[in-house]
Structure 1
Amino acid sequence: EIDMKDGATISGPGLPGIYSLKSFHFHWGTYHYKGSEHAIDGRKHDMELHIVHTKNNMTLEEAKKDPQGIAVLAFFIKKSNETPSVNTWKTLADLLEKIPEKGNSVNLDGQFSLGGLLKVADVRSYYRYFGSLTTPNCSQAVIWTVYPQPIEVTHKTLKKFTDSLYYTTKAEGRKMQKNYRPLQPLNNRKVYYFMENKHGHPCKEFRTNRNMSYV
């Protein structure tokens, strides 16, 4: 997880307040095993990026107690033979190799930005629903926004994410892999689909024919 400085916010339709950026993190499986935390029509992707915000700049602990206290933007990530190497993703993947063990750290020194990671993201459509955190205590406090079009990264970049980190030490040998929550049923939650129209404005449509597995 990478913590962020104060300042960046999101707001808009469906978000009952101004949400402040707090951190971002990733979930993955292995190089050969898909590890996204959401699935659309049963389809998962290699990794998933979560960008975490809290309402009205609350702390994360405060926000967990509010049913709408947290807003998470979720982006699928997949390996591709056709995508060119994106410098920001390559830089982040290279940095992971420098912090393989618990307690390791590295000075980022402005080498990459969250905006750089999202430069190639397609945000013209998204799903939204009310759900929970995917880590203990799994508080029902999250407004999820899930972008269905995956960000493509190179095979080499994905491999560095899935093979570089260890839960404790290299000597112990427990690679940080399959760090995702298993899929959960929707339990009658409504999932809304938003798509930008030709004029650049969002149109809302409730989709009953799509099966999004919830987290």
Structure 2
Amino acid sequence: MKKEVNSRETPRAEAFELWMSSPMPMVTLTKTFDVSRILKTSRKRGWKFNMILCWAIGRAASKTRELLLLPEKDSDSSWRLMQYDSIAINVIVENKKGGINSCDIHYSDDIQKFNKDYLRLTSEAAAECKSSSIEDAMVVGTSAMIGTELDCIVNQYTDLFCNPMLMWGSYRRGSFRTTLPISFQFHHVQMDGSHAARFLELLQAIIIAI
């Protein structure tokens, strides 16, 4: 569920006052990850590479308290700060008509449950050409553009969508490891660069432990 909180009573009080008036409050960091373990697990268990990475992102997000706070524009165009108690992952899916749809998937510590939900919801989105959303969870966006290798992705900024988002291209096979640059975009009210850096380090640790 989500609830409105008084920004002045949170650790992000100063950031809320400072950055909500900024015309471009989004920040993007890019880190190259060692994803060798994901590729190995994908082949061993028959799981999709993207599913495993999305699960790892959800696990890292669930352990990062800053990601449970998000600014939201009200109907009168004023901003408020919302607090969430759960995480969902948004996945972009190519549908059967050649377009795209998105689906939100509740994060679960149980990767097998997450895998079942991932397969069901992405298949439905592709076949029915319909997007699905979860309103009561903190949604972390993802976008995989695996048609090419990408060094960095900077997404558009819109105040209609302030959620954090991770984006990547295709992974790179090396002699000893497989790597993948991932861009992480976040709202500066939500966290500072140091928090984002710790989140990315945590994500790498989770990936290695899969």
State the TM-score bracket (shorter-chain normalisation).
Answer: under 0.3
TM-score by length of structure 2 reads 0.28
TM-score in terms of structure 1 length = 0.27
Looking at both structures, which has the greater relative contact order when contacts are Cα pairs under 8 Å and sequence separation is at least 6?
Answer: 2
Q: Would you tell me which structure has more helix in proportion to its own residues?
A: 2
